[in-house]
Amino acid sequence: MLLQRVMFLPLFTQWNRQTTKNLVPRFPAVRLTGFRSNSSVPDVKERTLIAVKPDGVQRRLVGQIIRRFEQRGFKLVGLKMLQVSEELLSQHYCQLTQKPFYPSLVEYMTSGPVVVMVWEGQNVVQSSRAMVGPTNPAAAPAGTVRGDFSLHVSRNVVHASDSLEGAQREIQLWFQGKELVKWGCWDQTLTCEE
């Protein structure tokens, strides 16, 4: 029995390789190794920082928010959950520290864990702002994250970087380079002309 298994294994491995190769032509521009993290994947595209704030995490909206970005065709390259420190928050919101609402913003943002992500893709900064909607959910159209899941500016569920420069600054603040994964999507030639 053991001998049979040993003899069958190389056959199975060979079959498996062939079958996998046969699947690849459906995505012609992607190499077989394209879904692995490696250094030979295409150049880094535009990236943005998206965070599900403590209210979004408590309300179990993380999956729905991720689904919207995946569905749009963006690629997730970084993801983690953490309890934010006041120090990190003051750097993240450095332009808001003098605002009257800043103390309550800190209280809210440190009230529980956040899920922070880096998404990559064509025009992702601007597109994700449109997907998230205006800062004040009262003005957010239905179909946007804030328009669908929130009512008030003090609990607006999600953060999205507002510019390319802001995105770069925020990604460096929240992630170490080694936490971001370079990988090639099998479907990237279907969602964007490279």
Region of 8 (left: φ > 0; alpha: ψ -120 to 50; beta: rest) is alpha
Q: Is residue 159 flagged as an active site residue?
A: yes
Which residue, 55 or 120, has its beta carbon nearer to ligand DAT?
55
Q: Are 144 and 130 in contact (CB under 8 A)?
A: yes
Among the residue ranges 18-26, 28-36, 64-72, 151-159, the one whose residues contact ligand DAT (CB under 6 A): 151-159
- Cβ-proximal residues to 95 (8 Å cutoff; 6+ apart), any chain: none
Sheet harboring 114-120: ordered strands across? 75-82, 114-120, 47-52, 158-160
Rule CB under 6 A: say whether 156 interacts with ligand DAT.
yes
End-to-end CA distance of the chain: 51
Stretch that binds ligand DAT, among 62-70, 113-121, 156-164, 179-187 (CB under 6 A): 156-164
Site map 102..141 versus ligand DAT, x via CB under 6 A: ---x-----------------------------x------
Contact set with ligand DAT (CB under 6 A): 96, 101, 105, 135, 153-154, 156, 159, 162
Contacts to Mg ion by CB under 5 A: 162
